[in-house]
C-alpha cells in the first residue's frame, strides 16, 4: 500500500516544469537561433522553479552532443527543452554527477548547518577544470544557485569568468535578490525574470503529492504561498494550515495573550523537523508570523489584491495595527527579524525565541527573553 503523501524530486531530478512555458520558449529560441548567450541570470521570488528550469536547460544543452552523435544528419530543430529522462545525460544531471556540470551553492558545515555565504574556494574548485576539454567535446554548464550569497571575492572570480568565457561554456546564475549582486555581473548576463506561478499549477502539483489535502487547507495554502510552489509544498508538509490558524488565534487576543497558548505554540514550532518530512517548522512558523504583520500593514494602507488567508485574518491585522500604530508595527516586525538573525548566528534556544517574538508583538518588548510562565497573561 502506498503512502498517502509522496515526495517531489529535487530540482535536478525533476522531469517537468509547470507554469513557465513562455520562459522555456525564450531559452529554446535562443539556442535554435545559434546565438545562445554564454550567461543567463534567472531571477524571481523563492520557490517558483528557477533552479528546476536551470537544471532542465542544463540537461538539454548537455544532451545535444549525444543527439548529434546518434542523428548526425538530422536538420530538425528541437521543439522542447525536455529530453528522455532515462538517457545517460538526464540520469547524470539528476544525480548531479555529470562531468561537464558544475554546481556552485552554499555548502553545509560539519554540524550540518548551511553556510550563509558562497566563498572564493568554491569557485576555485571548478574554475581550473574549465581550461580542459569537456568530456563529450561539447558544452559545459555551470549553475550558481543563490548567487546573491557570493562574497565579494567569489563575485570577482565569477566576473572574470564572464569577461573571458571559455568556449562552449554556459553559466546559469540563479538569484532571488539580483540587486544584491555586482552590477557588472548582471550586465554580462541575459536576464530571464520568472513570475509567480498560477494557482492552478500549484494546486495540481500539491494534489499530485498530497492527494488527501482538504479543500479548505488547499485554498489556505495557495493564498499563503503567493505563487510559490516551493513554499506551498513546504507549508503542506509542515502542517502550515494549522500553524497559521494557531497564529491568528493568538494574535487576535493581543495585547492580552495567554502564556499557556504561546508556550504550547513554541513547543510545537521547536520540533527540529516535522514528523514526515524535512521541513523546519520553526522557520515556517516565523515566516507566517512575519508575513501576517506585513499583510496587516498592507491592508491598513489599502493595498490592492490583498486576500484573506482564513476568514477574519485581515480584520484582525487591521485592529492590531490601529491599536499600536504603523510605526510601532514596523519596529516590532524589525525587532523579530533581528531576533531570528541572532538565532541563525548564535544558535539560541528556539523556544525562547518564539516566546520573545510574541512578547515583542504584544508589547513591543525589548527584554532579552520574555519570562512569563505558561499560566500568565501578557
Residue 227, φ and ψ in degrees, nearest 5: 85, 10
The verdict on 145 and 266 lying in the same domain is: no
Q: Find out whether 106 and 117 touch, Cβ atoms under 8 Å.
A: yes
Is residue 369 scored above 80 in pLDDT? no
The verdict on 184 and 285 lying in the same domain is: no
Collapsing DSSP to helix, strand or coil, 59 comes out as helix
Structure confidence at residue 308 (pLDDT): 93
Is residue 103 scored above 90 in pLDDT? yes
What's the CA gap between 248 and 2, in Å, rounded?
Answer: 35
**Domain endpoint, select from 134, 161, 193:** 193
**Domain endpoint, select from 193, 226, 252:** 193
The verdict on 154 and 283 lying in the same domain is: no
Structure confidence at residue 178 (pLDDT): 95
Mean pLDDT of the region 336-355: 83
**Which of 193-197, 271-275, 322-326 is predicted least confidently?**
271-275
Structure confidence at residue 106 (pLDDT): 86
**Which of 11-15, 82-86, 232-236, 269-273 is predicted least confidently?**
269-273
Structure confidence at residue 7 (pLDDT): 63
Mean pLDDT of the region 265-271: 87
In a domain, 15, yes or no: yes
Mean pLDDT of the region 172-200: 96
In a domain, 216, yes or no: no
In a domain, 68, yes or no: yes
Mean pLDDT of the region 115-137: 78
Range of the structural domain that residue 280 is part of: 239-363
The verdict on 297 and 178 lying in the same domain is: no
Q: How confident is the model at residue 109 (pLDDT cuts 50, 70, 90)?
A: low
The verdict on 45 and 174 lying in the same domain is: yes
What's the CA gap between 162 and 198, in Å, rounded?
Answer: 34
Which element (helix H / strand E) includes 40? Answer: strand 39-43
Total number of domains constituting the chain: 2
Is residue 301 scored above 80 in pLDDT? yes
What's the CA gap between 373 and 359, in Å, rounded?
Answer: 12
> CB under 8 Å to 240, separation ≥6 — which residues?
220, 221, 224, 234, 284, 288
The verdict on 343 and 264 lying in the same domain is: yes
Is residue 87 scored above 90 in pLDDT? yes
Structure confidence at residue 276 (pLDDT): 57
In a domain, 116, yes or no: yes
Structure confidence at residue 113 (pLDDT): 62
The verdict on 189 and 259 lying in the same domain is: no
Structure confidence at residue 348 (pLDDT): 75
Mean pLDDT of the region 101-124: 78
In a domain, 293, yes or no: yes
Give the DSSP letter of residue 269: H
The verdict on 15 and 153 lying in the same domain is: yes
The verdict on 57 and 125 lying in the same domain is: yes
The verdict on 247 and 334 lying in the same domain is: yes
In a domain, 1, yes or no: no
**Domain endpoint, select from 176, 193, 210:** 193
* Residue 197: Cβ-neighbour burial (10 angstroms; 0-12, 13-18, 19+): buried
Give the DSSP letter of residue 372: -
What's the CA gap between 33 and 281, in Å, rounded?
Answer: 47
The verdict on 120 and 245 lying in the same domain is: no
Q: Which of 249, 257, 347, 324 is nearest to 289 (CA)?
A: 249
The verdict on 85 and 181 lying in the same domain is: yes
In a domain, 325, yes or no: yes
If one compares 67 and 107, the residue with the highest pLDDT of the two is 107
Structure confidence at residue 274 (pLDDT): 52
In a domain, 61, yes or no: yes
Task: Compute CA distances 246 → 33, 231, 364, whole Å.
Answer: 54, 19, 21
pTM of the model: 0.84
Amino acid at each position: 500500500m502506498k503512502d498517502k503523501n509522496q515526495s517531489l524530486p529535487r530540482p535536478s531530478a525533476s522531469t517537468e516544469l509547470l507554469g513557465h512555458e513562455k520562459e522555456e520558449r525564450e531559452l529554446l529560441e535562443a539556442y535554435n537561433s545559434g546565438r545562445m548567450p554564454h550567461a543567463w541570470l534567472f531571477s524571481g521570488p523563492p520557490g517558483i522553479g528557477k533552479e528546476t528550469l536551470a537544471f532542465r536547460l542544463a540537461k538539454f544543452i548537455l544532451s545535444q552532443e549525444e543527439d548529434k552523435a546518434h542523428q548526425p544528419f538530422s536538420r530538425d530543430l528541437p521543439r522542447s527543452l525536455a529530453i528522455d529522462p532515462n538517457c545517460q545525460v538526464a540520469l547524470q544531471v539528476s544525480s548531479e554527477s555529470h562531468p561537464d556540470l558544475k554546481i556552485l551553492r552554499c555548502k553545509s558545515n560539519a554540524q550540518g548547518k548551511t553556510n550563509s555565504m558562497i566563498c572564493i574556494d568554491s569557485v576555485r574548485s571548478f574554475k581550473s577544470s574549465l581550461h580542459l576539454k569537456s568530456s563529450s567535446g561539447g558544452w559545459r554548464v555551470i549553475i550558481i544557485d543563490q548567487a546573491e550569497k557570493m562574497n565579494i571575492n567569489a563575485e570577482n572570480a565569477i566576473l572574470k569568468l564572464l569577461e573571458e568565457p571559455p568556449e562552449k561554456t554556459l553559466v546559469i546564475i540563479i538569484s532571488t535578490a539580483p540587486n544584491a549582486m555586482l552590477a557588472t555581473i548582471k550586465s554580462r548576463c541575459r536576464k530571464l525574470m520568472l513570475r509567480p506561478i498560477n494557482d492552478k499549477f500549484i494546486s495540481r502539483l500539491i494534489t499530485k503529492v498530497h492527494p488527501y489535502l482538504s479543500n479548505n487547507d488547499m485554498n489556505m495554502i495557495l493564498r499563503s504561498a503567493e505563487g510559490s510552489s516551493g513554499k506551498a509544498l513546504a507549508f503542506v508538509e509542515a502542517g502550515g494550515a494549522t500553524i497559521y490558524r494557531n497564529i491568528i488565534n493568538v494574535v487576535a487576543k493581543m495585547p492580552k495573550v495567554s502564556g499557556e497558548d504561546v508556550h504550547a505554540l513554541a513547543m510545537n514550532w521547536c520540533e527540529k523537523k516535522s514528523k514526515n518530512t524535512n521541513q523546519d517548522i520553526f522557520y515556517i512558523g516565523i515566516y507566517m508570523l512575519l508575513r501576517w504583520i506585513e499583510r496587516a500593514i498592507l491592508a491598513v494602507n489599502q493595498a490592492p489584491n490583498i486576500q484573506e488567508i482564513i476568514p477574519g485574518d485581515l480584520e484582525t491585522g487591521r485592529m492590531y495595527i490601529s491599536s499600536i500604530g504603523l510605526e510601532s508595527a514596523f519596529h516590532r516586525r524589525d525587532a523579530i527579524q533581528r531576533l531570528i538573525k541572532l538565532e541563525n548566528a548564535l544558535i539560541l534556544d528556539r523556544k525562547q525565541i518564539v516566546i520573545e517574538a510574541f512578547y515583542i508583538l504584544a508589547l513591543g518588548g525589548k527584554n532579552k527573553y520574555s519570562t512569563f510562565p505558561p499560566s500568565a497573561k501578557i
